[in-house]
Amino acid sequence: MGNLDFSKLLKIDTSAFADMLSMNLDEDDLNALMMSMMNNSDTGTYSGNLRSFGYANLSEPTQIAIYAKNFESKEKVKDRLDAYNDRMRDAGEDKKVVSYNDLAGALMSSVTDIINAISYVLIAFVSISLVVSSIMIGVITYISVLERRKEIGILRAIGASKNNIAQVFNAETFIIGALAGLFGIGITELLLIPTNMIIRHFTDAGIHAALPPLAAVLLVLLSIGLTLLGGIIPFRKAAKSDPVTALRVD
């Protein structure tokens, strides 16, 4: 094959290589030195050092961080980006589509999912409590009808119709439900005062617990409706009572 000059093939200066061998390097140091010479990365170059220090060319950005001042502004920025991406896709320029991550939206979505799960559990417990309360109202109203059978017989004897008897008990149940709802709203408003004081003492988030007026009205109507619903069966029994039999009751 002839005499080959390996220094030209490896592109290594023989004098520099001889100097390296004369530095009494051990096997590990020599291996690290050779690997650094054979490495084709830009480590140690001007551009590599700038990249290591975090230098970025404004004309060639790789990513942009946008910080909105509030959630309304964040939604506007997101809508602008979505509109821009739609235009680029329609134009067939997929390379210009902007990929973004809504970190605040993802965080709020996770928090919202957790709060919704807790709310569903609380709604389930409240629903069970409402069903039990309706049953207890029906039982109490039924006991009231049994204790007032003589009164019912007297009302029927003096000419009261079945509808009149039902109206009497409906009115009583309506009043009970309305008063129960109003008492509940009043107690809630009173408890909100120390609750807000505790929240302001332990947190600085500016959270304020309050009961909206519309929700208060709906709660009172719900109390009245459940009370009337629980008294349906006792009302019918009171209206169908035989006056003669009711008058014989001690």
- Residue 31 pLDDT: 66
Q: Please give the pLDDT value at position 168.
A: 82
Q: What is the pLDDT of residue 36?
A: 60
Please choose, from the candidates 168, 137, 139, 138, the residue with its C-alpha nearest in 3D space to the C-alpha of residue 152.
168
Indicate if 241 and 159 belong to the same structural domain: yes
Tell whether 222 is covered by a domain.
Answer: yes
Does 114 fall in a domain?
no
Same domain, 153 and 233: yes
The pLDDT of residue 2: 46
**What was the pLDDT predicted at 34?**
64
pLDDT (tens, 9 = 90+) of the chain, 250 residues, equals 444 444 444 444 444 444 545 555 566 666 666 666 555 555 556 666 666 666 666 676 677 777 878 778 888 888 888 898 888 888 888 888 888 787 777 787 888 889 889 989 988 998 888 888 888 888 887 887 777 777 777 777 787 777 887 788 888 888 888 898 899 899 989 998 888 888 888 877 667 778 888 988 998 898 888 888 877 777 777 777 766 666 665 5
Shared domain for 236 and 128, answered yes or no, is yes
Structure tokens at 99: 């990929």
Distance CA 45, CA 93 (A): 35
Is 64 inside any structural domain?
A: no
Q: Residue 154 domain-assigned? A: yes
* Domains held by the chain: number: 2
Q: So what's the pLDDT on residue 117?
A: 92
Residue 174 domain-assigned (yes or no): yes
> Does 35 lie in the same domain as 147?
no
- DSSP code string of 75-126: HHHHHHHHHHHHHHHHTT-GGGPPP---HHHHHHHHHHHHHHHHHHHHHHHH
Of 16, 31, 52, the last residue of a domain is: 52
Residues 229, 224: Cα–Cα separation, whole Å: 9
32 in the same domain as 135:
no
45 and 132 housed in the same domain: no
Can you give the pTM of this predicted structure? 0.53
Tell me, what's the pLDDT at 70? 79
Report yes or no on 71 lying in a domain: no
pLDDT at residue 12, rounded to an integer = 46
Do 128 and 222 lie in a common domain? Answer: yes
- What domain range includes position 43? 6-52
> Are 133 and 231 part of one and the same domain?
yes
The whole-number pLDDT of residue 13 equals 47
Q: Is residue 178 part of a domain?
A: yes
Clarify whether residues 33 and 148 are in a common domain: no
Residue 147 lies in a domain: yes
Rounded to 5°, angle at Cα 208 from 202 and 214: 155
My answer on whether 132 and 42 are in the same domain is no
